[in-house]
Amino acid sequence: MIKKLAKITSAKLQIQERGILTFWIHIVHEDGGCQAIGGFALDDYDEKTESRVGTVYGCEMIRRLLLELDVDDFSEMKDQIIWVYGEGEDFNFRISGLSKLKVNGGNDKPLIFVDILNEFI
């Protein structure tokens, strides 16, 4: 897994297409490229109610992101310098997690998105 330094330029929770709850964290890499992290469905479609409903996974993802970056609100993530973890090079870099820098109170274990998902499968 590759680790890259990045700065958060914006972060938000939002309801997107067809009412899907998601989050987006926009970053600029130290080496100049820009990326967006997120787009995961944090809710699910309930056939019984024929509507989208929140999930334990979605709540836990939001909770862990807030805790990892030590903020009370997604908007407070803006301007933080973080590590992003992933695979690939340059424009093919696929982000799989993030962490706060140790100098800012981070720890040795990054928040890896699929690990959270696997807890609820």
Kindly report, residue by residue over 65-88, the tens digit of the pLDDT.
999 999 999 999 999 999 999 999
**Do 87 and 2 contact (CB within 8 A), yes or no?**
yes
pLDDT of residue 31: 87
With vertex at residue 26, the alpha carbon angle to CA 68 and CA 61, rounded to the nearest 5 degrees, is 35
Report the mean per-residue pLDDT for the chain.
Answer: 94
Helix/strand/coil for 64 = helix
Beta bridge partners of 20: 16
**Domains of the chain with CATH codes:** 2-119 (2.40.50)
Average pLDDT over residues 29-55: 94
pLDDT of residue 89: 84
pLDDT band for position 107 (cuts 50, 70, 90): confident
pLDDT of residue 106: 84
pLDDT of residue 116: 97
pTM of the model: 0.92
